Structure 1
Amino acid sequence: MRAGAYEARVEDYVALLKPRVMSLVVFTAFVGLLLAPGGINPFVGAVAILCIAIGAGASGALNMWYDSDIDAVMSRTANRPIPAGRIERDHALVLGLVLSSFSVCLLGLATNWLAAGLLAFTVFFYAVVYTVWLKRSTPQNIVIGGAAGAFPPMIGWAAVTGTISLESVVLFLIIFLWTPPHFWALALYKQSDYGAANIPMLPNVAGERVTKIQIFVYSLLLVGSTLIPGLTGFMGTVYSVVAIASGAGFIWLAWALLRTSETVAMKKAGRALFTYSLSYLALIFLALLADHAVRLLGWL
Structure 2
Amino acid sequence: MPVPDPEVRVTAVDPHVSLRTQEGARATPPRLRDVVMAYVGLTKPRIIELLLLTTVPVMFLAQRGVPPLGLVVATVVGGTLSAGSANALNCVYDADIDERMRRTRRRALPRHLVSQRAALVFGLMLGVVSTVMLGLLVNWLSAGLALAANVFYVVGYTMILKRRTTQNIVWGGAAGCFPALIGWTAVTGELAWAPVVLFLVVFFWTPPHFWALAIRYREDYAAAEVPMLPVVAGARTVARQITGYSYVMVATSLLLWPVAGTGWFYPTVAVVLGAAFLVESHLLLRRAAVSDDVVDLKPMRLFHWSNMYLSLLFVGVALDPLLTR
Same fold (TM over 0.5): yes
Question: SS where residue 55 of structure 2 aligns?
Answer: helix
Q: Is the 8 A contact 2:71 2:186 kept in 1?
A: no
Q: 2 CA distance for matches of 1:265 and 1:44?
A: 45
Q: RMSD across aligned C-alpha pairs, in angstroms? A: 1.8
- Asked if 1:177 is matched to 2:204, the reply is yes
TM-score, normalised by the number of residues in structure 1: 0.93
Return 2-11 or 68-77, whichever deviates more: 2-11
Deviation at 1:106, TM superposition (A): 1.3
Q: Is the 8 A contact 1:188 1:267 kept in 2?
A: no
Question: Residue deviations 1:154-190, cap 9 Å, x none?
Answer: 1111112111100010111111110000001111121
Structure 1 unmatched runs, 5+: none
Deviation at 1:233, TM superposition (A): 5.1
- 1:25 aligned partner: 51
- 1:275 aligned partner: 304
Q: 1 CA distance for matches of 2:168 and 2:208?
A: 13
Deviation at 1:24, TM superposition (A): 1.0
- 2:37 aligned partner: 11
Return 38-47 or 83-92, whichever deviates more: 38-47
Return 112-121 or 257-266, whichever deviates more: 257-266
User: Which residue, 176, 182, 188 being the options, matches 1:161?
Assistant: 188
Question: SS where residue 85 of structure 1 aligns?
Answer: coil
TM-score, normalised by the number of residues in structure 2: 0.86
Q: 2 CA distance for matches of 1:194 and 1:284?
A: 30
Q: 2 CA distance for matches of 1:281 and 1:249?
A: 12
Deviation at 1:6, TM superposition (A): 6.3
Question: SS where residue 81 of structure 1 aligns?
Answer: coil
Deviation at 1:239, TM superposition (A): 1.3
Structure-to-structure mapping, 1:24-103, within 5 angstroms: 24-37=50-63, 41-103=68-130
Q: 2 CA distance for matches of 1:57 and 1:77?
A: 17
- 1:240 aligned partner: 267
Task: Report % sequence identity.
Answer: 41
Return 13-22 or 109-118, whichever deviates more: 109-118
Structure 2 unmatched runs, 5+: 1-19
Deviation at 1:208, TM superposition (A): 2.2
Higher RCO structure (Cα 8 Å, ≥6 apart): 2
Q: 2 CA distance for matches of 1:233 and 1:289?
A: 13
Question: Residue deviations 1:192-233, cap 9 Å, x none?
Answer: 000000000011123322211110100000111111122435
- 1:254 aligned partner: 281
In structure 2, do the counterparts of structure 1 residues 30 and 267 end up closer, same or farther at CA, with 3 Å as the change threshold?
farther
Q: 1 CA distance for matches of 2:179 and 2:296?
A: 31
- 1:210 aligned partner: 237
Q: 2 CA distance for matches of 1:44 and 1:187?
A: 37
Return 194-203 or 153-162, whichever deviates more: 153-162
User: Which residue, 130, 133, 141 being the options, matches 1:106?
Assistant: 133
Question: SS where residue 252 of structure 1 aligns?
Answer: helix
- 2:216 aligned partner: 189
In structure 1, give the amino acid aligned to 2:116.
R
- 1:285 aligned partner: 314
Return 213-222 or 236-245, whichever deviates more: 236-245
Q: 2 CA distance for matches of 1:43 and 1:289?
A: 17
Q: 2 CA distance for matches of 1:6 and 1:158?
A: 46
In structure 2, do the counterparts of structure 1 residues 294 and 216 end up closer, same or farther at CA, with 3 Å as the change threshold?
same
In structure 1, give the amino acid aligned to 2:261.
F
Q: 1 CA distance for matches of 2:240 and 2:295?
A: 13
Q: Is the 8 A contact 2:99 2:110 kept in 1?
A: yes
